[in-house]
A and B are shown apart, each in its own frame.
Chain A
Amino acid sequence: MFADLCSNPKVLKNTLELGYTRIGYETRTDRKPTKMAEISPPPQDLIEKYQNFHLPSGNPLGSSIKFYSRLTFHYAKGELNQLLTSGNAVLQSYDLIAIEPKDEASFRFACTLAEVDIITFDCSQKTNFAIKTGLVKQAIARGIFFELKYTQGIAGSSCEHLISTGTKLALVTKGKNIIFSGGSDVAHHLRGPHDIINLGVMIGLSTDNARKAVTVNPASAVLHGETRRTAKGAIGVMNTSKMNGEEQKWRIDGYSPNSSSDAMEE
């Protein structure tokens, strides 16, 4: 139910203990990822291990753990603009794509034209660019989410910049389309989801919107990523060898649940 879309495999156990069930692993680049080797998919062994994990929040039936892969571009000016509108196959293999704009030009591009799901802010320093209402409105209309990493207020020397960008965002977005996530690989920087909801309230969101920022909005961002990958959100392509479970295998021609696995490999 609670999501942390910018996590690290090192602190997996801590994030699960705190109650997060939707976890995203981040790869950061400021260059074009040209080779498949540069992608790091979510760690399969950890997924298998934690499939039946009962979480401290006490809801064994509801909360299954899901992992997402995410790619973050941090760049300035217009270096990677073309890449982000191209529909590159390498990019399409990630569940989520994020931009961390470093100046006004990249922020403008991210809000208006880029095919991304999340716009991140670097809260360890003051933002170079102004967060303009018009651009933010356009981004919200396109279904893009604005992300704040709360660990940057805890790891550094002051939480000043986190709160200043947070209040500015809360004002400009009117509370919609905001996501909170951790962005640290150090365990004692992480905080529980209710703490983060309270931080959202202190920033200026309503309690409802602050709660959405940790539960509903990350799920919406993942959905947005799915629609980005499918053609206009209507048609999807799936590799048959990667299909698991009854709910997906019925789609294969000639599949019946009692038959042997040979028939399914066609």
Chain B
Amino acid sequence: METHNSNFPLSNSPDATGRLHNQIIKNFFPMSRRYCYQCIHRKARFRPRLGTEITMVRIKHRYILGEVKSGIDLNKSGERGFINLVTQQIRFFHGEYGVGALQHGMRVIYLNPSTGTFLLKTARSSCRAVWSSLTLTRERGNQSVQIVVLHVSGTIKQAKEAALQYNQNIILVEEEEKEEENI
């Protein structure tokens, strides 16, 4: 348990010292006191919000929602095969340096073998480079591959909404085509 040092540097972001302050208040002050003596003198908007988590810097990600339109049999290769394909393409376009730099945050979150839809998580800084190597993929072995990226977002929730929207549009289009054929 750390003592509450009066020389403790109070940063401007309440998030950074949020949890520390919560611990301190719980352990040193009575239940009735909400803020320590230093914080109460700060302006209200800089007081640490109670119940905040401690993360100094938010590590942000990008989620690439895409569709493998033709070429690979995902039933056989699965998630591992897909990641192998992506790293192979990164190695082809960005070299060894690229693989080292970009592979770090990369993970397959979702892969649907029958439709070819995938959700790939990358670090925010490497998103565009990974994306470019996905679009420029031409073939794996003998087969020509086409990967189309539908949506790039910062959260999985938005990616899920985008996927739903895309599928709805496909169904709408198919229904219209059927109507036109009937007419």
Cβ contacts A135-167/B at 8 Å (1 or 0 each): 000000000000000000111000100000000
Cβ contacts B3-23/A at 8 Å (1 or 0 each): 000000000000000000000
Tell me the number of A-to-B contacts counted with CB atoms below 8 Å: 61
Q: Tally A residues with Cβ within 8 Å of B.
A: 26
> From DSSP, what is the main secondary structure of chain B's interface residues?
helix
Q: Is the CB of A202 within 8 A of B129?
A: yes
Q: Is the CB of A56 within 8 A of B173?
A: yes
Q: Is the CB of B138 within 8 A of A198?
A: no
Tell me which residues across on chain A come within 8 A of B150, comparing CB atoms. 192, 194
Q: Is the CB of B148 within 8 A of A18?
A: yes
Decide: A199 near B132, CB < 8 A? Known: A188-B145, A188-B146: yes
> From DSSP, what is the main secondary structure of chain A's interface residues?
helix
Tell me which residues across on chain B come within 8 A of A199, comparing CB atoms. 132, 135-136
CB distance from A48 to the nearest CB of B (A): 11
Tell me which residues across on chain A come within 8 A of B168, comparing CB atoms. 58
CB distance from B30 to the nearest CB of A (A): 53
Name the CB-closest residue of A to B127: A198
Asked if B128 is at the interface (CB within 8 A of a chain A CB), the reply is yes
Name the CB-closest residue of A to B165: A58
Q: Report which B residues bind A (CB closer than 8 A).
A: 69-71, 93, 128-129, 131-132, 134-136, 138, 144-146, 148-150, 152, 165-166, 168-170, 172-173, 176, 180
In order of increasing CB-CB distance, the 4 nearest A-B pairs are A195-B135, A188-B146, A56-B169, A202-B132
Name 14 extra pairs, CB < 8 A, besides A54-B173, A188-B145: A54-B169, A55-B169, A56-B166, A56-B169, A56-B173, A154-B136, A159-B136, A188-B146, A189-B146, A190-B146, A194-B150, A194-B152, A195-B148, A202-B128
